[in-house]
Amino acid sequence: GEDVEQSLFLSVREGDSSVINCTYTDSSSTYLYWYKQEPGAGLQLLTYIFSNMDMKQDQRLTVLLNKKDKHLSLRIADTQTGDSAIYFCAGSSEQKVTFGTGTKLQVIP
Amino acid sequence: DTEVTQTPKHLVMGMTNKKSLKCEQHMGHRAMYWYKQKAKKPPELMFVYSYEKLSINESVPSRFSPECPNSSLLNLHLHALQPEDSALYLCASSQGTAGEQYFGPGTRLTVT
């Protein structure tokens, strides 16, 4: 099965940019996703990128995909306190979505 | 409407109880999923339904029994659970089985 790894924790100051990184092993993933989970809540789909794309921008969010290095990143511009949450990257292949280990983003006011 | 609803929000049950979790979506999605999530861990896939038929069972113990009565509803029947089954149970749906999944808020289950 696929392994998807993320760093456990990231702390940034309000107004700065956050970059959350993800590495994966299965290059056959059709889509790669970023989900946000606030405490006690379900997962909110933030954005996704098709595997033949290198970059996708959606308002404050920028997703970069490096297929050669199997590396996915999510950049959040002008990070706000409301962005504090756990962020999961995920890849889909053959009906299954495999989630990364999750990165807890702490935004310091 | 990109909403997936789940009931109940919280459930406490004894090891001899029988209970059911419910999930509903009205987005016309043809794939629905059950996930289990333990604290500080990513969701783990349990079951996938595609066009109301069970297509994936990730070797889940038989004390968890899924049911898809129609294309909008997904149930998870629980019987004789163990304390280690306590977790957040998440339902999700997607247009097909390869596209983005939309999650419900989850049911927080505690087995005593």
Which residues in chain B have Cβ-Cβ distances shorter than 8 Å to A97? 45, 101
Contact B109, B13 (CB under 8 A): yes
HSE-CB at B46 with a 13 A cutoff on CA atoms is 27
The alpha-carbon gap from A95 to the nearest alpha carbon of chain B, in Å, equals 5
- Interface probe with B: pick from A22, A95, A96, most Cβ of B within 10 Å: A95
A34-59 average pLDDT score = 92
User: How confident is the prediction for chain A on average, in pLDDT?
Assistant: 92
- Residue B33 tokens read as 């999923």
Whether A79 has a pLDDT exceeding 70, the answer reads: yes
For the stretch B14-62, pLDDT in tens is 999 999 999 999 999 999 999 999 998 999 999 999 999 999 999 999 9
